[in-house]
Structure 1
Amino acid sequence: MSPLLSVQGLVKTWPGPRRMRALDDLSLTLDEGQTLGIVGPSGSGKSTLARVLERLEPADAGRVQFDGLDWLALRGAALRRQRGWMQMVFQDPLAAFHPRATVYSALTDPLRIHGLAPPRDWPSEVARMLEEVQLSPELARRPITAISGGQRQRVAIARALAPRPKLLILDEAVSALDVSVRGHVLDLLVRLQRRHGTGFIFISHDLAVVKAVSHRIAVMDAGRIIEEGPAEALIAQPQTPLLRALIAASPALPA
Structure 2
Amino acid sequence: MNAALLEVAGLTKTFHSGGRRVAALDDVSLTLAPGETLGLVGASGCGKSTLARVLVRLVAPDGGSIRFRGANWLSLEGAPLRRARRHLQMVFQDPLAAFNPRATVAGVLTDPLRIHALAPRAGWPDEVAQLLTRVGLPPDHAGRSILDLSGGQRQRVAIARALALKPDLIVLDEAVSALDVAVRARILELLVDLQRASGLAYIFISHDLAAVRAVSHRIAVMEGGRIVENGPAAQVVRAPESAAARALVAAVPHLARERTG
Give the structure-2-normalised TM-score.
0.96
Match of 1:19, SS? strand
Match of 1:243, SS? helix
One-letter amino acid of the counterpart of residue 105, structure 1: G
The alignment yields a C-alpha RMSD, in angstroms, of 1.0
Aligned equivalent of 1:27: 29
CA distance in 1 between partners of 2:188 and 2:116 (Å) = 27
Match among 39, 48, 51 for residue 50 of structure 2: 48
CA distance in 2 between partners of 1:85 and 1:61 (Å) = 23
Aligned equivalent of 2:189: 187
CA distance in 2 between partners of 1:111 and 1:252 (Å) = 43
Deviates more, 1:165-174 or 1:236-245: 236-245
Match of 1:193, SS? helix
CA distance in 2 between partners of 1:235 and 1:189 (Å) = 21
Match of 2:248, SS? helix
Aligned equivalent of 1:212: 214
Match of 1:58, SS? coil
Aligned equivalent of 1:103: 105
One-letter amino acid of the counterpart of residue 20, structure 1: V
Aligned equivalent of 1:147: 149
User: Which runs of 5 or more structure 2 residues have no equivalent in the other structure?
Assistant: none
One-letter amino acid of the counterpart of residue 43, structure 2: P
CA distance in 2 between partners of 1:180 and 1:5 (Å) = 32
Match among 221, 225, 228 for residue 226 of structure 1: 228
Match of 2:10, SS? strand
Q: 1:163-212, CA deviations, whole angstroms, 9 ceiling, x for partnerless residues?
A: 11001000000001111011111000000001111110000000000000
CA distance in 1 between partners of 2:104 and 2:124 (Å) = 14
Give the structure-1-normalised TM-score.
0.98
One-letter amino acid of the counterpart of residue 126, structure 1: V
Q: 1:26-67, CA deviations, whole angstroms, 9 ceiling, x for partnerless residues?
A: 000001100000000010000000000000001110000101
Aligned equivalent of 1:2: 3
Aligned equivalent of 2:240: 238
Q: How far off is 1:96 after superposition? A: 1.8
Q: How far off is 1:114 after superposition? A: 1.1
Aligned equivalent of 2:79: 77
CA distance in 1 between partners of 2:247 and 2:12 (Å) = 26
Alignment of 1:82-93 (within 5 A): 82-93=84-95
Q: How far off is 1:15 after superposition? A: 2.7
Q: Percent identity?
A: 62
CA distance in 2 between partners of 1:63 and 1:74 (Å) = 12
One-letter amino acid of the counterpart of residue 155, structure 1: V
One-letter amino acid of the counterpart of residue 190, structure 2: L
One-letter amino acid of the counterpart of residue 89, structure 2: Q
One-letter amino acid of the counterpart of residue 62, structure 1: G
Matched length: 255
Answering whether residue 131 of structure 2 is matched by residue 129 of structure 1, we say yes
CA distance in 2 between partners of 1:107 and 1:194 (Å) = 22
Aligned equivalent of 2:168: 166
Q: 1:77-124, CA deviations, whole angstroms, 9 ceiling, x for partnerless residues?
A: 110110000000000122121110110100001101111101111111
Q: How far off is 1:252 after superposition? A: 4.2
One-letter amino acid of the counterpart of residue 18, structure 1: R
One-letter amino acid of the counterpart of residue 96, structure 2: L
One-letter amino acid of the counterpart of residue 242, structure 2: T
